[in-house]
Amino acid sequence: MPLSFLNPVINEETSIQELENLLDTARKNYESLRKTEKEFWTFESIITPLFYHLHELQTTFSAYQNIDGVMSSDTSRKIIQIFQPQLVDFYNIMSFDTLMYEICIFIKDNDTLSSEQRRSVELLLEDFINSGVHLAEEEKSELKKINLQLNKISEKFSNNTLDDKKIFFHHCSDNTDISEIAKTDLDTAKQEAKERNLDGWVFTLSPPSYLAIQKECKNQGIRKLFYEKYHSVATSDTHSNKHLVLETLQLREQRAHILGHNNHAEYVFTQRMANTPSEVITKITELNILSKQKAKKELKELKNHFQLSEIFPWDISYYSEILKKEKFHINAKQIRQHFPLEQVIHGLFTIANKLYDITIEATDEKTYHPDVHIYKVFQEEELIAYYVMDIFSRSEKQSGAWCNDIRKRLKKENGEQEVPVVINVGNFGKGDPTLLTHYEVLVLFHEFGHALHVMLSQNTIENTSGFSTEWDFVELPSQCMENWVWEKESLDLFSQHYETKDPLPPELCENLKKTKSFMSGLRIARQSEMTLLDMMFHTRPAPHSIEELENIIKDNKKNFGIFSQEYGMYCSFSHIFAGGYSAGYYSYFWAEFLEAEVFEEFLQNGIFNTETADKYYQNILSQGAKKPGKQLFHDFMGREMNVSAFLKKYEL
């Protein structure tokens, strides 16, 4: 079976042995590459084999990581925990390797390179420089210390947030306050109560439970309590993240200085599509001003409609939900009946075929779980990728949805191609039949957009595939794909009532589409405020005390907030303190700016217009990371990005 690596035998001893053997081979091959005589320092004799030798190790480890994410067990977790540090060590050695850095510079300056090879070397050099390979030994060891400390802090930040969130819960012994809450959320709350040996219902700060309270709990006092708790997670003495935030900002600034940058934002922007931090700050500030104007109108509408003398942050979701139902007659249950899973997948593949002329065929290959399906993807009868779908929720699966290229595309030394293996993972409830909510359909399209980016990119070198594009560019194909879930022409292809077989009625399509910009002012104002806080944190001089830190937050609130209430939300801002989004929270907006422009082209020419689709395919999807994102976008649009399509989309 060609894809048997997807299903590794999970055994602590043999699995670790297998991985360690691969690492050992990779290490030896790397060592012998370093010994190559200078006269053979060429792309083909150094960089091609470099990727080739790492390929099997990476693919095998990726398959183990996949199993740990979707079929997690104590053993799978242990395998990762034991092996990952060894792998990180090896990568660290490579990233500080002065000789390999010199070799890459030599190749860039002396070898005759194709444009893709040149880009590949440039990307390698960027990584080298950003890790500090060119610095003196003393500075290098300082950097290592800082990186280690930052890793520790980020783990502590994450644990504090989780632990503090867990402390709070709210018990309802009767249903007076929660009678409007949807049945699925009540079932979860009942289960939560049972686990605590309580009758009735228990609500917590975990997102589905918290959102159920904000959207559907009629008791304002309870909503307020939840809002305040949620926004002040990890600010209490027992689990406070305040000092961790302070130390993080200081260390990030120190690292940036050692690497020759003024601040952390400047440092990370060396590998972004956006030109400079100030360009981002300017664009997002404009957006903040416009969205606040719309948000004020939205607040007024809510106040007038529900005759409220004053409106608070904990009232918004609740009243918006009611108004949305009244205005658009959206009946979630009715909509859902039109999205049986099989029909949605069939429609999704049809859309991909209409746009990019690819054919996706089911295989009967078996893998680690009977619910997992493997497809072959063909372009003009040539196999270009394997696509794996693992979308049902299981107790041993991590929450959320994601896309991963378990095996990257590889040109073997004999010239043969190994096609990529891409997986989409989801957590949809399984039913008989499985009916998806419109939001779940959107998630499926989003993740499939990522998969397309990898499957369609015609890279021949590992580090120029779709997933290697800049952080603020990589969400373009996924967010763009979401657009096809709102248009009647495409809804007709994947919506089909599970009994009557009718597509979604036209008036429902119309109303569904209208909900897209409903209350968008409030959402965008809030998100732009957070984005600007991230930018302020990482462009201003690092604070020396908690007081100075909190002054930055107060300033930000005053300049960009809609409400004056501030509880210390930064203490649980995990995206930037425990995730990869520092000075990068803006990338959500950035990808939306980009995709709004791309999709505007489709809207003008027809959402299935083959010329537009081909232009998008030729200039963006098939290119992977063969050119910088900025240039790819320019090739498609014939100009630089602007935000007008985004503003139009959300009626700002």
Nearer to Zn ion, 330 or 422 (CB): 422
Q: Are strands 421-428 and 417-418 parallel, antiparallel or unpaired?
A: unpaired
Nearer to Zn ion, 294 or 438 (CB): 438
**Rounded Cα gap, residues 68 and 485, in angstroms:** 31
Q: How far is the CB of 439 from Zn ion (least distance, A)?
A: 14
What's the CA angle centered on 524, arms 521 and 526, to 5 degrees?
Answer: 105
Omega before 543 cis (within 30°)? no
Taking CA atoms, 500 is separated from 432, 433, 496, in Å, by 16, 14, 8
Q: Which residues lie closer than 8 Å to 32 by C-beta, 6 or more apart? A: none
Q: How far is the CB of 453 from Zn ion (least distance, A)?
A: 10
Using CB under 5 A as the binding criterion, the count of chain residues that bind Zn ion stands at: 1
**Rounded Cα gap, residues 56 and 52, in angstroms:** 8
For 345, what's the count of Cα atoms within 13 Å in the CB-facing half-sphere?
17
Task: Find the part of the chain contacting Zn ion (CB under 5 A) among 9-17, 266-274, 434-442, 477-485.
Answer: 477-485
Q: How far is the CB of 450 from Zn ion (least distance, A)?
A: 6
**Rg (Cα) of the chain, in Å, rounded?**
26
Nearer to Zn ion, 318 or 471 (CB): 471
478 binds Zn ion per the rule CB under 5 A: yes
Q: How far is the CB of 475 from Zn ion (least distance, A)?
A: 5
Nearer to Zn ion, 60 or 478 (CB): 478
Q: How far is the CB of 575 from Zn ion (least distance, A)?
A: 13
Q: How far is the CB of 595 from Zn ion (least distance, A)?
A: 11
**Rounded Cα gap, residues 125 and 135, in angstroms:** 14
CB count, 10 Å around CB of 311?
16
Q: How far is the CB of 474 from Zn ion (least distance, A)?
A: 8
Q: Residue 562 carries which DSSP code? A: S
**Rounded Cα gap, residues 523 and 528, in angstroms:** 9
Nearer to Zn ion, 52 or 588 (CB): 588
By CB under 5 A, the residues from 438 to 467 that bind Zn ion are: none
Nearer to Zn ion, 8 or 69 (CB): 69
Task: Find the part of the chain contacting Zn ion (CB under 5 A) among 35-43, 425-433, 471-479, 540-548.
Answer: 471-479
Q: How far is the CB of 400 from Zn ion (least distance, A)?
A: 10
By CB under 5 A, the residues from 184 to 243 that bind Zn ion are: none
> Reduced to 3 states, what is the DSSP secondary structure of residue 148?
helix
Token digits of residue 39: 């006269």
Nearer to Zn ion, 214 or 478 (CB): 478
469 binds Zn ion per the rule CB under 5 A: no
Nearer to Zn ion, 568 or 584 (CB): 584
Taking CA atoms, 633 is separated from 120, 152, 463, 527, in Å, by 19, 38, 19, 24
Nearer to Zn ion, 288 or 478 (CB): 478
| 3-state SS record for 177-207 | CCCCCCHHHHHHHHHHHHHCCCCCEEEECCH
Nearer to Zn ion, 131 or 478 (CB): 478
Token digits of residue 325: 């139902």
Closest residue by Cα to residue 83 from 6, 145, 21: 21
User: Burial level of 506, CB count in 10 A (0-12/13-18/19+)?
Assistant: exposed
CB-based closest residue to Zn ion = 478
Nearer to Zn ion, 478 or 582 (CB): 478
CB count, 10 Å around CB of 155?
11
**Rounded Cα gap, residues 491 and 339, in angstroms:** 10
Q: How far is the CB of 146 from Zn ion (least distance, A)?
A: 29
Q: Do residues 553 and 232 make contact, with C-beta atoms less than 8 angstroms apart?
A: no
Nearer to Zn ion, 7 or 457 (CB): 457
Task: Find the part of the chain contacting Zn ion (CB under 5 A) among 180-188, 386-394, 475-483, 631-639.
Answer: 475-483
Task: Find the part of the chain contacting Zn ion (CB under 5 A) among 103-111, 130-138, 332-340, 476-484.
Answer: 476-484
**Rounded Cα gap, residues 238 and 255, in angstroms:** 29
**Rounded Cα gap, residues 404 and 451, in angstroms:** 8
Q: How far is the CB of 449 from Zn ion (least distance, A)?
A: 8
Token digits of residue 243: 């000092």
| 3-state SS record for 374-419 | EEEEEECCEEEEEEEEEEECCCCCCCCCEEEEEECCEECCCCCEEC
Q: How far is the CB of 484 from Zn ion (least distance, A)?
A: 15
Task: Find the part of the chain contacting Zn ion (CB under 5 A) among 305-313, 435-443, 470-478, 589-597.
Answer: 470-478
Task: Report phi then psi at 644, rounded to 5.
Answer: -65, -35
Nearer to Zn ion, 128 or 473 (CB): 473
By CB under 5 A, the residues from 527 to 546 that bind Zn ion are: none
Task: Find the part of the chain contacting Zn ion (CB under 5 A) among 131-139, 298-306, 386-394, 478-486.
Answer: 478-486
Q: How far is the CB of 454 from Zn ion (least distance, A)?
A: 12
Task: Find the part of the chain contacting Zn ion (CB under 5 A) among 204-212, 473-481, 523-531, 634-642.
Answer: 473-481
CB count, 10 Å around CB of 476?
29
* Interaction pattern, residues 144-173, with Zn ion; x per rule: CB under 5 A: ------------------------------
Nearer to Zn ion, 160 or 478 (CB): 478
Nearer to Zn ion, 185 or 482 (CB): 482
What is the full DSSP assignment across 279-346?
HHHHHHHHHHHHHHHHHHHHHHHHHHHHT-S---HHHHHHHHHHHHHHHH---HHHHHTT-BHHHHHH
Helix (H) or strand (E) holding 617: helix 610-619
587 binds Zn ion per the rule CB under 5 A: no
Nearer to Zn ion, 248 or 478 (CB): 478
Q: Which residues lie closer than 8 Å to 47 by C-beta, 6 or more apart? A: 104, 107, 117, 120, 121, 124, 461
Chain residues in the site for Zn ion (CB under 5 A): 478
